[in-house]
Every structure is written in C-alpha cells, then in structure tokens.
Amino acid sequence: MIAAFLVFIAIIAVLVLLAGMIKVGIFALKVLLFGLLVAWLARKVFGWSRPLSSKSVLVGPPVADIAAPSEPRRDKYDIAAERELDEELGI
C-alpha cells in the first residue's frame, strides 16, 4: 500500500517536471525567435549588412606549373571493382 502510494507520487513528480521543462523550453524558443526578429528588423531599419569577408588573394605567378591529369586517376578500389565486374560478366 505504501509502496504503491510512493510510486504514484514519483509518477506525478516526473509528470510535473516534464511539464515544467516543456514550458521553459517553449519560453526559451520564444525569446530566441524574438531576438531573431529584432536582429532582422535592425538590419532592415539601419541598413546593416554582413561584414565583408577577408579572403586572401593569390598574387604573382604560380610556384610550379603542373598539368591537370587528362583522365581521372583510378585507385586500387576502382581496379578491384572493375575486375569483380569483369568476373561476374564472364569477360
């Protein structure tokens, strides 16, 4: 009798905690959505934009002139797959 009562209280406590966590999570999502809305509105009103990227630019001639391969290179897996296919087809 006492064990059943304690299990009942534990189940109710878990349900209350889950409901509380869901409410806190929904509140956090609302705060984040409001923040996104304010950030978007500030960009529209004040004309803010993304910062310009600072990409490095290559200057001068290349150090080594290496020609690109004329056909795709085949590795050991391509060769093994080709052999297996040839064996299955009886070539």
83 touches 77 (CB < 8 A): no
Residue 80 lies in a domain: no
Domain span including residue 12: 1-46
Confidence class for position 69, pLDDT limits 50, 70, 90:
confident
pLDDT surpasses 90 at 23: yes
Q: What pLDDT, on a 0 to 100 scale, did the predictor assign at position 71?
A: 78
The total number of structural domains that make up the chain: 1
Residue 57 lies in a domain: no
Residue closest to 49 by CA, chosen among 59, 60, 37, 40: 40
pLDDT surpasses 90 at 44: no
Q: What pLDDT, on a 0 to 100 scale, did the predictor assign at position 47?
A: 81
43 touches 49 (CB < 8 A): yes
5 compared with 62, residue with greater pLDDT: 5
Q: What pLDDT, on a 0 to 100 scale, did the predictor assign at position 53?
A: 65
Residue 66 lies in a domain: no
Distance of alpha carbon 68 from its chain centroid, rounded?
A: 33
Residue 79 lies in a domain: no
Residue 59 lies in a domain: no
Residue 26 lies in a domain: yes
